Amino acid sequence: MRWTLLTLLSLTLLAGCDQPGPETDNGEAAAKEVNVYSARKEALIQPLLDRFTEKTGTEVNLITGGADALIERMESEGEHSPADLLLTVDAGRLYRARQADLLQKADSETLRNAVPEQYRHPEGYWHGLSVRSRVLVVAPDRVPANAPSRYADLADERWQDRICIRSSNNIYNQSLVASLIAHKGEEATEQWARGLVENMARSPQGGDRDQILAVANDLCDIAVVNTYYLAMMHNSDDQTQREAAEQVALRWPNQNDRGAHVNISGAGVARHAPHPEQARALLEFLVNDESQQWYAEVNNEYPVKEDVAISETLREWGDYKADDLPLVRLGENNDKAVRLMDRAGWQ
């Protein structure tokens, strides 16, 4: 039934795309809509889309779902896809969409000036919109202040039965492993992954918030999570989540060498976009100062635009050194990472 409803929605969007819109001065129909396929939850993107409509008059049709499902859908829809813009929460999925020839170049001076080189595709097929780091959270009363200080430390036998982390099918973990392959090579990373598996306090389960709750509830002493989940828990309306966030401490890994692993939410213009100009305009809107400030204040993510202020919660965590690995490498190494994690017994 779900796919039937999605198919009907696609047909509705397609029908809308065929309808004539207001005419420009040269008599051509001017589209006043843009169709977004988004792997971000509606609450984390809809307010920005509403603001775009308010400022430009362009209506935004939003379809949300898992990144893999949306990519597969675009593949099955082919040249008849109504998708104008694909928005995901990981560079690895944007890389996959590019490899499947589902995106087109959307290079512009605005995008180049706003998005640092490491956070965009080298040829302009996708661009980062916000940044998050995958960090360590620890129980400060059970873990020394000076350890662990690196991702490599998670494989140390001193942490046996003390680590919580999500499953190997989670894209955030796949991208972390992909970054380690880029830095350390496949053999060393597999050895690390085997050590990490030996140190897990329980079988991987739940999301990032569940790992933080597990540390707060003494189920483990160390967890690996994205920064914005911890920030959201600090600012949650749920007292249980706030209290859990207050009981853990954040550790920035690898500050004395390459820096903490980072990833992006990002977007690319669909190859067969019915409204490519509107899609490009929306992409540029999402990296302007107003939108970047919203990402920082509401989502507690780091802006890709370097001169935009971060939220009070993020400021309290202080400055950190970020890994400068080009994020396209996360996609390039994803298949290796998945196979490696499987060999290591990472469930």
Mean pLDDT, range 274-301, rounded to an integer: 96
The H-assigned helical ranges of the chain are 2-18, 46-56, 67-77, 91-99, 109-114, 171-184, 186-198, 208-216, 227-234, 239-246, 276-285, 289-298, 312-316, 328-332, 334-343
**pLDDT for the residue numbered 31:** 56
Give the CATH number for residue 50.
3.40.190.10
Higher pLDDT, 35 or 18: 35
pLDDT average, residue stretch 208-213: 98
Q: Do 219 and 151 sit in the same domain of this protein?
A: yes
**314: closest CA among 92, 127, 135?**
135
Does any domain span residue 21? Answer: no
Q: Please tell me the distance from the alpha carbon of residue 153 to that of residue 147, in angstroms, as a whole number.
A: 8
* Domain contains 19: no
- Residues 137 and 121 occupy one common structural domain: no
Q: What is the mean pLDDT of residues 149-155?
A: 98
- Number of folded domains that form the chain: 2
Residue 239 has pLDDT above 60, yes or no: yes
Q: Judge if 268 and 248 occupy the same domain.
A: no
Domain of residue 201, residue span: 132-260+321-343
Q: What's the CA gap between 224 and 153, in Å, rounded?
A: 12
Label residue 13 by pLDDT band (50, 70, 90).
Answer: very low
In a domain, 27, yes or no: no
Q: Is 8 a domain residue?
A: no
CA-based nearest residue to 149, from 136, 134, 163, 165? 136
* Cα–Cα dist 3/242, whole Å: 37
Whole-angstrom distance, CA of residue 5 vs CA of residue 12: 10
Tell me the pLDDT of the chain averaged across its residues. Answer: 92
Q: Does the pLDDT value for residue 126 go beyond 60?
A: yes
In a domain, 2, yes or no: no
CA distances from 246 to 166, 227, 235, 335 (A): 21, 14, 10, 37
- One domain, residues 243 and 283: no
The answer to whether position 18 is within a domain reads no
- Domain for residue 4, yes or no? no
pLDDT category at 30 given cuts 50, 70, 90 is low
* Average pLDDT, integer, range 203-230: 98
Whether residue 26 is predicted with pLDDT greater than 50 in this model: the reply is no
